[in-house]
Structure 1
Amino acid sequence: MFNLTLIGIGTGNPDHVTMQARRAIAAADLILIPHKGDEKSDLADLRTSIVAEVCPDGAPRIALFDLPVRDPSIPYIDRVNRWHDKIAAIWADTIAAHTNGDGANVALLVWGDPSLYDSTLRIAARLTPAPTIKVIPGITAIQALTASHAITLNGLANAVTVTTGRRIRDHGWPEGAETVVVMLDGECSFTTLDDADQIDIWWGAFLGMENELIAAGRLDQVADQIIATRAQGRADHGWIMDIYLMRRRA
Structure 2
Amino acid sequence: MRITLRVIGIGPGNPRQITLEAIDAMAGVDAFLVLDKGADKQSLAAARREILDRYAPDGHRVIEIVDPPRDRHPADYDAEVRRWHAARATLFAEALTATVPDGGVAAFLVWGDPALYDSTLRIVEDITTHTDLDIALEVIPGVTSASALTAAHQILANRIGESIHITTGRRLADTPAGADTNQIVMLDGDLAFRHTADPADHIWWGAYVGTDDEILVAGTVGEVGDTIAEVRAAARQRLGWIMDIYLLRKAVD
TM range, smaller chain: over 0.9
Aligned to 1:202, the other structure's residue is in SS state strand
Q: For residue 149 of structure 2, what is the aligned residue in structure 1?
A: 145
The percentage of aligned residue pairs carrying the same residue is: 43
Offset from partner CA, 1:23-48 (integer Å, 9 cap, x none): 11122111001110001022222112
- TM-score w.r.t. the length of structure 2 is 0.93
Measured after TM superposition, the shift of residue 55 of structure 1 is: 3.3
Taking the TM superposition and a 5 Å limit, the aligned residue runs for 1:2-81 are 2-55=3-56, 57-58=58-59, 60-71=60-71, 72-81=73-82
SS of aligned partner of 2:161: coil
Q: What TM-score do the two structures reach when normalised by structure 1?
A: 0.94
* RMSD, matched Cα: 1.3
> What pairs with 1:182-221 in structure 2 (closer than 5 Å)?
182-193=185-196, 195-197=198-200, 199-221=201-223
The superposition leaves residues 132-165 of structure 1 with CA deviations (integer Å, 9 ceiling, x where unpaired) of: 1110000000000000000001110111000110
Are 2:161 and 1:160 equivalent residues in the alignment? no
Query: What is the match of residue 104 of structure 1?
Result: 104
* Counterpart residue number, 1:121: 121
Q: Report the alpha carbon displacement of residue 103 of structure 1 after superposing the two structures with TM.
A: 1.1
Unaligned runs of 5+ in 1: none
Partner of 1:249: 251
Residues 195-221 of structure 1: CA deviation (Å, up to 9, x unaligned): 222x00000000000010010001111
In 2, the alpha carbon distance for the partners of 1:103 and 1:53 equals: 26
> What amino acid is aligned across from residue 211 of structure 2 in structure 1?
M
Distance 1:61 1:213 in 2: 33
CA distance in 2, matches of 1:85, 1:56: 31
Which residue of 2 is the match for residue 131 of structure 1? 135
Counterpart contact for 1:168–1:174, Cα < 8 Å: no
Gaps of 5+ in 2: none
One-letter amino acid of the counterpart of residue 123, structure 2: I
Deviates more, 1:82-91 or 1:48-57: 48-57
**Relative to 1, partners in 2 of residues 1:74 and 1:194: Cα closer, same or farther, differing over 3 Å?**
closer
